[in-house]
Chain A
């Protein structure tokens, strides 16, 4: 069997000139070829690795028979954001990591490329529609129009509930619209899928922040909280309040607004930027900085490459574009007068693995050095807005909303999911949690008249 299909990728020099997507899609013939690489495993491990359990072998088989619409049905049936997920899922640690071709010493089937292809073939005729149950007159409120909230809203709308979704932002979509930048996926993909969700009778209210979730129970039979985890954590080192220091989430939100023409971007032209962190968000910050014209971008990570949580694909892309990785390096202090001028760092060394198998690190005495920089972006973790969670009145544990296995919070009738509960995971996990919560809410409300 021959190798995996690769599509054209723009050169690093060309792609940092814009915020546009830079990976080309499969076409009819290459998709067919790639689809023939799927062995069609029984009880396929890729399906188990997908939080929304898309029947991957079946959707790929339908590409092979050129039943593209049927393929789209399979994907959309399990994941109402199947198009978006095709573009943004970290498949290297999800479906593709479990493809049995890995066991044959080959590259996995390009599931994400195939999923994108199916979405692009689906779009011109309008996204696939499913039957909707007639209204059952029961009302559900959803707080937060990110993928978790919208997925729950869709599932409930389809089951006949009257769903109202409130979001504080000007546009629905949560991080799909205000976090994930268009070089991964054009915003039109999420927009088309959100428009599709509206067709199931879901009401979307924007610029409508909710403070009191319990209060909603006066007008609604159940409430779903999916407000995300949009606050960045700090490091707690001196100098974090200097001008020129950004928190990752705020920084990327501003960049997203700038690209949409809705605001100004941080001024980075010709500047040196230090990004602190080793996750996918750190990589996004580095790539955004390069696109804003930064002269030099360093990514500081305190462990080594093999511990880095960011997927290898993203790391490779950022590196090609010119980001420089400083590994086993931790910031100690941000220095500067009225603005940032550098970061004092210390070299780290790896110790023995801890209980979770991750190796501990400790500073090497006397290895301190300074990196000169104009800007520092802290991408060292995210969390929900604690004050907001408090105002909802639900029980909070370790900064996250506490739920039971049915996604029920401490308040009867109030459910929660997505980043606000898991602390920040992926779009596909948010969609899956929304689906499961919808099922739990349906069960809860079917028991009541």
Chain B
């Protein structure tokens, strides 16, 4: 029989059967939903953010927006949703139910409270005593909550990250993960602050503050709540590069495990996060878009990938790419090349020509019906033509000494 690569991951004290967890968001809004997700194959879940009963929460109707591109209906998702509206007691009951039915699946409680140490300590105590395996401190939500001193308000202030992480540690006996916002100047610094305050792990990113669009017929900003809107949190596929940058910076700057979040839609995205050093990944928007069932291909595709590449476990790829990320000034200045067009592959579309003429170095000669040609003297090897050419492998690089 075939031997399958080992997908298990050790995350602090937690044993994950695969690196895939659901992030704190609508897909983990109730115990019933989390149990269905576990049944479908998700390895772990972070609850929708839980808050003390005294913190009032409101959710506007029509709180989501999207941006598409060309044939893609959605590349960015935006929300102005707050944390859970459900009472603490309900969550405690449901956490117990989930842990009873799925004792082997890690369940992480996400927390948010006003920036007062005693509130965080009490909340951490209540939720960890309910039986979660870890706590995640939501210092990231960039809309609604910060207007009342919560979410990204804390994640943008190192002194609050420190104080509230310490307070939460005080209140609980399970590992603590700090979820950071990308809406800061230096996320690595925030990560180091959390680590110094005793955080056992970091998760990133929460959503990116944005404005998803304006309806040019009604002049209303989106998502429109009866005519008006506010800045919201962006997630989904187009946020992946920002998320990967943040995760890589955190992996470089700290010595605690990082749970990667942001724009993960397929196993391929997950592999990229693992390669830059993420211990595991969390997913939200793509599951909202297509359902828990995405886990099937996420697991199968990763298994197949590891097998094809000759790896026996997911641990072997974690961080493989990280050492290859360096400072701009340390890249190889002796790497000199020019573009080379394969005449036989060229379909004579002229795309490389027009790009190089109007957005490059006027280095491509092209005449209708003939293959395009590179003027090696003029080529500055910027890469534009190789990327915009619709034929894979048609434009390649030739080493030169300039």
Residues of A bordering B, CB below 8 Å? 1-2, 29, 36, 40, 42, 58, 61-62, 64-67, 69-70, 73, 129, 131
Contact = CB atoms under 8 A, between A and B. Distances in A.
Nearest to B392: A29
A67 B297 contact: yes
23 contacts: A2-B71, A36-B71, A40-B290, A42-B291, A58-B296, A58-B297, A62-B297, A62-B300, A65-B297, A65-B301, A66-B268, A67-B267, A67-B300, A67-B301, A67-B304, A67-B305, A69-B304, A70-B297, A70-B300, A70-B301, A70-B304, A129-B2, A131-B1
Contacts of A2: 71
B293 interface: yes
- DSSP class of B's interface residues: helix, strand, loop or mixed? helix
Interface of B: 1-2, 71, 266-268, 290-291, 293, 296-297, 300-301, 304-305, 392
B268 A65 contact: yes
Given A70-B300, A70-B301, A70-B304, A58 B293 contact: yes
A435 B217 CA distance: 56
Contacts of A73: 300
Contacts of B290: 40
B301 A62 contact: yes
B1 to A, nearest CB: 7
- Grouping DSSP codes into helix (H, G, I), strand (E, B) and loop, the A interface class, with mixed when no group exceeds half, is loop
A2 B72 CA distance: 10
Contacts of A66: 268
Contacts of A65: 266-268, 297, 301
A131 B3 CA distance: 12
A61 B286 CA distance: 13
A373 B267 CA distance: 62
A292 B298 CA distance: 50
Contacts of A67: 267, 297, 300-301, 304-305
Contacts of A64: 266
What are the 7 closest A-B residue pairs judged by CB atoms, nearest first?
Answer: A67-B301, A70-B300, A65-B266, A69-B304, A1-B71, A62-B297, A65-B301
Which has the most chain A C-beta neighbours within 10 Å: B266, B301, B392?
B301
A70 B392 CA distance: 24
Contacts of B296: 58
Given A61-B297, A70-B304, 5 more contacts: A36-B71, A58-B296, A65-B267, A67-B305, A70-B300
Contacts of B71: 1-2, 36
Nearest to A69: B304
Report which residue of A1, A29, A67, A73 has the largest number of chain B beta carbons within 10 angstroms of its beta carbon: A67
A345 B301 CA distance: 61
B142 to A, nearest CB: 30
Contacts of A70: 297, 300-301, 304
B391 to A, nearest CB: 9
A73 B301 CA distance: 11
Candidate in A42, A64, A70 with the most chain B CB atoms within 10 angstroms: A70
B284 to A, nearest CB: 18
